[in-house]
Amino acid sequence: MTDPSGITDTAFGDLTGQTALVTGASSGIGRAIAMELARAGASVVVHCKTSWQSAEDIRDSISAIGGTATVLQADLGQPDHDHEFMERAWSCFAGLDLWVNNAGVDLLTGADAALDYADKLELLYRVDVRSTLLLSRLAATRMRAAGHGSILNIGWDQADRGMAGDSGELFAAAKNAIMGATRSLALSFAPQVRINCIAPGWIRTAWGEQASDHWQQRVLDETPLRRWGSPQDVARMARFLLSPSADYITGQVIRVNGGAER
């Protein structure tokens, strides 16, 4: 149905018939985004680094709700594998309409938490910054040739206002780079491709589940909505930004953080 302005009236956030890839989709925010895009009607490539079984479980969960999904395994921190990964990704569904760069280093709960400061910085650069920028460019180039596409990156709501401590410094360096690059990429690939970024706040993923009482209270104190965010809160925004419902939005960094400003 088309109204007099020429705008097609479709269901809000509908992704029926579209194909999507979500990096780092085996758990947390990535898992929630993959499931939400499937609920919206998209066929989804579920990427993982090592958690193959978890990724297969998500594929099966998508199949259980009537969706289509496949699993793609790759270490995005490996240099010079970006073109190979893009070729493999693009062949999963004979092309992709949507791309989500969610994969990132876990410096809080994973084995990499034991690395020293310089090694953490190097790993963040390779996985979070380098892969996000290069994969965005590769995907956007293909999407522009096809005449359409939407890309979503993941930042951090405190990156551009600061948080004390090693982790605050490291994540600010990486996520500010992603947020800034998103704005520039959006200009480079408009009008065919829209590129946006979500900057999550205090989202209860693995670290939030085990955080001390001090941190639990700090989250409440810093968040006007007085609760942790959930991965699903981020996933719903991802669905909107990737969908035709957001087709006049590009180059934006959208905070999903319960109103936190400090």
Note the pLDDT tens digit of each residue in 196-216: 999 998 888 777 777 788 878
pLDDT value at residue 5: 45
Of 49, 87, 54, 84, the residue nearest 69 (C-alpha): 54
Q: Give tens-digit pLDDT for 75-130.
A: 999 888 899 999 999 999 999 999 999 999 887 877 888 889 999 999 999 999 99
Mean pLDDT of 172-193: 97
- 193-200: strand order across its sheet: 69-73, 43-48, 19-22, 98-101, 149-154, 193-200, 253-256
126: left (phi over 0), alpha (psi -120 to 50) or beta: alpha
Higher pLDDT, 190 or 228: 190
Sketch out the chain's domains with CATH numbers: 19-256 (3.40.50.720)
State the Cα–Cα distance between residues 191 and 254, nearest whole angstrom: 20
Give the pLDDT band of residue 72 (cuts 50, 70, 90). very high
The structure's pTM equals: 0.91
Count how many residues are written for the chain: 262
pLDDT value at residue 114: 84
Residue position matching structure tokens 């959208």: 254
Per-residue pLDDT at 4 exceeds 50? no
State the Cα–Cα distance between residues 214 and 226, nearest whole angstrom: 15
State the Cα–Cα distance between residues 83 and 88, nearest whole angstrom: 9
Per-residue pLDDT at 6 exceeds 80? no
